[in-house]
Structure 1
Amino acid sequence: MTQINTLDPGASPLDYYGYELRRCREAAGLTQKQLGSILGYTASLIGQIETARKVPTLEFSERADVALGTDGLLSRLLTLVMRSQLPSWFQQVAELEARATAIHVFQPLLVHGLLQTEAYAGAVFSAVNDRDLDNRIAARMARQRIFEKDKPPVFWAVLGEAVLYQRLGGPDVMRGQLLKLLACEKNPYVNIQVLPFAAGSHAGFPGAFDIFRFSNDPTIVYSEDYETGHATANPDAVENRMLRYDHLQAAALSVKDSVELIRHVMEERYGEHPSPDQRPMA
């Protein structure tokens, strides 16, 4: 018989999710095994989620909402759960991403997290350690749901050309990642420019940074080091980053030319020709 642990719903968003899942399941008169059968999961998984030992997925949450008639409760809670899985110093950034009306990012060495595939994110995370890898990847993918909103933020990314050549996870991972970047061409809210090697000296040498703009709040700039991140609305810092970003965009290839370069690198280095039906939605 599955041991029933007492959960404190105030301990964390994950505990609250587990508490609500158990409450709704019991209100529906279902055992863990019965709910698992309905959803297509094992009773063990249901138990792990209810006891906050396993992070639920979006698919699980949506199925459970339908089966338990919770009117989307679990899917809504999942946003808080996923945000809580991020490092504490990064949770503020996820909130900024969710509220921003426009996001401008510069990444000289890696594909930005909001554009990564699961496989690429896994390769990035496992470069240091693979502890709790599935949950960390899921939390990163959850951030990308901002592009599914009725009015998503306008997103501009300037990526260094080195991003296309730095092989993470092998050719299949890179091919999938570059396909995802190519798919962004069809999304009017997502714009990618590549800063070519030929640009030479440029305004982004100090490193990666993000700029968040809001409807009614001051613009915020963000950068990070190995241990933590730094966000500020200081007018001088904001003006400095915005000026740098203007110079980076001016030095980068156009969106159209960037698409052609990404396609060329993918075909030349990772050996596959993209066709329209292969391209995943951004």
Structure 2
Amino acid sequence: MAHINTLDPGASPLDYYGFELRRHREAAGLTQRQLGDIVNYTGSLVGQVETARKVPTPEFSERVDMALGTGGLLSRLVDLVLRSQLPAWFREVAELEARAIEICTFQTHVIHGLLQSASYVRSVLGVLDQVNLGDRTAVRLARQRIFEKGEPPVFWMVLGEAALYQEIGGREAMREQLAKLLSLEGDPRVNVQILPFAAGEHAGLQGPFTVFRFAGDPPIVYTESYSSGHPTANPDTVKDCSLRYDHLRAAALSIKDSAGLIRRVMEDRYGEQVA
């Protein structure tokens, strides 16, 4: 008899997901290949997810839930699975993103992860590390599901103009990324303002930071360095960064003018005509 890999469902969220996927598939009397045919994935991928060697995506989870009649079990589990795959030092930040009612971020040269396109994510994460790049890309993109909640957070990003010119991933990836920013122009909950070169010295010269605000908890300021994050609820730090953010937002272009600049950069630098 062939050996069947046995998962410990208590070992991790990924193991628990794989255990439940196998349990429901077998209860339906389907092989991995048969289930894969139904949901338009390979049987091999189904097997990899069942044995916790592949991270499931929200789309995979939704299709399998429908095929197996699980009542949405896997779709409920997938967010926990994806969050557990984040670097340990970043998991607290993902929790802050999920709980916040308002997120205000200042970024100097890289677009914030919550607004990154798929190609841009792959390029950022792939620098010096190509291991499990597909899974790591899916995990980062899954953070953006906070905007699909019934009450999504209000998100503000003040972005240094240099980020529009830093060609991350090549011309096509940058066109895709800037188009993603423009697609948010009509969403009152997601606001992008460009801090132009002409602003000169500004309140964010010490570097990027993010302020998280919550319904019933004190605000938290988050800063980041290589492979480590630094959240703090220190009232003096929160007060200082909140003031700095107000000044950055005042120095930045309006939302409408920011969109106009993004369009011009797409056309002039990346050769894309935008209506």
TM-score band by shorter chain is: over 0.9
Q: Which letter does structure 2 place at the counterpart of 1:175?
A: R
Q: What is the match of residue 113 of structure 1?
A: 113
Contact 1:119 1:169 in 2 (8 A): yes
- Once residues 165 and 2 of structure 2 are traced to their aligned partners in structure 1, the CA distance between those partners, rounded to angstroms, is 50
Q: Which letter does structure 2 place at the counterpart of 1:182?
A: L
Q: Which letter does structure 2 place at the counterpart of 1:239?
A: K
Q: Which letter does structure 1 place at the counterpart of 2:274?
A: P
Q: What is the match of residue 248 of structure 1?
A: 248
Identity of aligned residues (%): 66
Alignment partner of 1:91 is 2:91: yes
Post-superposition Cα deviations, 1:233-253, rounded to whole Å, max 9, x if no partner, equal 110110011011011111111
Question: Please, which moves more after superposition, 89-98 or 2-11?
Answer: 2-11
Specify whether residues 2 and 170 from structure 1 end up closer, same or farther in structure 2 by C-alpha distance, changes over 3 A only.
farther
Aligned positions of 1:141-160 closer than 5 A: 141-160=141-160
Q: Which letter does structure 2 place at the counterpart of 1:5?
A: N
Q: CA deviation at 1:227?
A: 2.1
Specify whether residues 273 and 72 from structure 1 end up closer, same or farther in structure 2 by C-alpha distance, changes over 3 A only.
same
Q: CA deviation at 1:205?
A: 0.9
Q: How many pairs align?
A: 275
Alignment partner of 1:127 is 2:127: yes
Aligned positions of 1:203-282 closer than 5 A: 203-275=203-275
Specify whether residues 132 and 119 from structure 1 end up closer, same or farther in structure 2 by C-alpha distance, changes over 3 A only.
same
Give the secondary-structure state (helix, strand or coil) at the position aligned to 2:184: helix
- Once residues 91 and 102 of structure 1 are traced to their aligned partners in structure 2, the CA distance between those partners, rounded to angstroms, is 18
- Once residues 190 and 204 of structure 1 are traced to their aligned partners in structure 2, the CA distance between those partners, rounded to angstroms, is 21
Q: CA deviation at 1:3?
A: 4.4
Gaps in structure 2 of 5+ consecutive residues: none
- Once residues 16 and 78 of structure 2 are traced to their aligned partners in structure 1, the CA distance between those partners, rounded to angstroms, is 10
Aligned positions of 1:8-47 closer than 5 A: 8-47=8-47
Q: CA deviation at 1:259?
A: 0.5
Q: TM-score, normalised by structure 2?
A: 0.98
- Once residues 153 and 85 of structure 1 are traced to their aligned partners in structure 2, the CA distance between those partners, rounded to angstroms, is 23
Give the secondary-structure state (helix, strand or coil) at the position aligned to 2:212: strand
Q: CA deviation at 1:187?
A: 1.2
Contact 1:2 1:47 in 2 (8 A): no
Give the secondary-structure state (helix, strand or coil) at the position aligned to 1:105: strand
- Once residues 40 and 61 of structure 2 are traced to their aligned partners in structure 1, the CA distance between those partners, rounded to angstroms, is 12
Aligned positions of 1:38-57 closer than 5 A: 38-57=38-57
Q: Which letter does structure 2 place at the counterpart of 1:23?
A: R
Contact 1:161 1:197 in 2 (8 A): yes
- Once residues 3 and 259 of structure 2 are traced to their aligned partners in structure 1, the CA distance between those partners, rounded to angstroms, is 54
Give the secondary-structure state (helix, strand or coil) at the position aligned to 1:178: helix
Q: CA deviation at 1:200?
A: 0.5
Question: Please, which moves more after superposition, 37-46 or 135-144?
Answer: 37-46
Q: Which letter does structure 2 place at the counterpart of 1:205?
A: L
Specify whether residues 204 and 32 from structure 1 end up closer, same or farther in structure 2 by C-alpha distance, changes over 3 A only.
same
Give the secondary-structure state (helix, strand or coil) at the position aligned to 1:110: coil
Q: Which letter does structure 1 place at the counterpart of 2:147?
A: F
Q: TM-score, normalised by structure 1?
A: 0.95
Q: Which letter does structure 2 place at the counterpart of 1:25?
A: R
Give the secondary-structure state (helix, strand or coil) at the position aligned to 2:185: helix
Q: What is the match of residue 59 of structure 2?
A: 59
- Once residues 41 and 133 of structure 1 are traced to their aligned partners in structure 2, the CA distance between those partners, rounded to angstroms, is 19
Give the secondary-structure state (helix, strand or coil) at the position aligned to 2:207: coil
Contact 2:89 2:227 in 1 (8 A): no
